[in-house]
């Protein structure tokens, strides 16, 4: 069940119009945030498995959590 991890240097962050984000500071923050999220998720998965939870269910819960996040800046 091993998948190739996302390589942060291969992600092209894009603005809503599709143009790549070019600000180095923005890219640094985005990539640091992703690495922190990855580590938190890794820790949560390991804890769940060590406590006897089903790995597939733990992954489903983490995925559901990500999908439930709302954009507070969304224009309506």
Q: Tokens 């580590």, residue?
A: 39
Write out pLDDT tens, residues 13-68: 999 999 999 999 999 999 999 999 999 999 999 999 999 999 999 999 999 999 99
Q: Where are the domains of the chain?
A: 10-68
The answer to whether 24 and 45 are in contact (CB under 8 A) is no
**pTM for the model:** 0.79
CB atoms within 10 A of CB 57: 10
Q: Tokens 């800046």, residue?
A: 73
Query: Band of the pLDDT at 9, cuts 50, 70, 90?
Result: confident
């Amino acid at each position: 069940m091993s998948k190739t991890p996302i390589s942060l240097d291969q992600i092209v962050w894009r603005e809503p119009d599709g143009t790549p984000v070019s600000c180095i500071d923005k890219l640094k923050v985005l990539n640091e945030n992703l690495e922190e999220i990855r580590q938190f998720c890794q820790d949560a998965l390991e804890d769940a498995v060590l406590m006897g939870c089903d790995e597939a269910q733990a992954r489903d819960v983490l995925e559901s959590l990500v999908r439930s996040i709302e954009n507070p800046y969304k224009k309506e």
